[in-house]
Copies of this chain bind each other. A is one copy, B any other.
Amino acid sequence: MSEQELSTEKTILEAAKKVFLDKGFDGARMQEIADKAGINKALLHYYFRSKDKLFDAIFEEAFKQFLPNISEIMISNKPIEEKVRAFVSSYIDMLLKNPYLPVFVIRELQRKPDAIVEILKKSKINPIQVALTLKQHTEDGQIIDISLPHLIVNMIGLCVFPFIGRPIIEGFLFNNNTEAYNAFLLERKTLVADFILNAIKLK
């Protein structure tokens, strides 16, 4: 009983994740989720009361995964070069494993912008601490003076954008050569770090 129950629930969540990530909330159909899970549609409502509830379960998980743990990496004592390389490499790795995450999160946050307020309450990110560490690097003469938001946006943007814009970039710059594009994404694990460090390091 217990293991059967859990297994069904997980099966549903797995199928729901696939469908929601691919189609979005508005495009997703409960019937399609049920089919993909190989179960009856009514079972979805038995385990999760509604489409909204089922979606919320998926979204919360996805959002947590998408948000990079910048604080953790940036607050350590390591030199800035090491920090940037560690962040870029690990974040691109995550994206390679979950390439649809960014579009999904962004799409759904546009649909219900108030959701971000709820999420903010639960989260406990501390930008101030990171900003202080960053200022220290600047004062040590390691990097130029750059505000934390700009640096963070630049770092994340450089990592994420090729995944968000994949269909366009792959089409226009790679003639829809998927293999070549995968190689391109891998290259970026070091190239993006080099790019950022060149941009911010004092020489």
Contacts and interface: CB of A to CB of B under 8 A. Distances in A.
Nearest to A148: B173
Interface stretch (A85-93, A106-114, A134-142): A106-114
A167 B63 CA distance: 13
A184 B107 contact: no
Interface in A118-166: 119-120, 123, 125, 127, 144, 146, 148-150, 152-154, 156-158, 160-162, 164-165
Contact of A154 (B22, B173, B195): B195
A65 interface: no
Contacts of A109: 167-168
Q: What is the predominant secondary structure among interface residues of chain A facing chain B?
A: helix
A47 interface: no
Contacts of A165: 106, 153, 156-157, 160
A171 interface: yes
A202 to B, nearest CB: 10
A87 to B, nearest CB: 16
A111 to B, nearest CB: 7
20 contacts: A24-B24, A24-B111, A100-B110, A106-B164, A106-B165, A107-B107, A109-B167, A110-B167, A117-B176, A119-B171, A120-B171, A125-B172, A148-B173, A152-B173, A157-B165, A160-B165, A195-B200, A198-B198, A198-B200, A203-B203
A103 interface: yes
A199 B116 CA distance: 33
Interface string A176-203: 1000000010011001100110111001
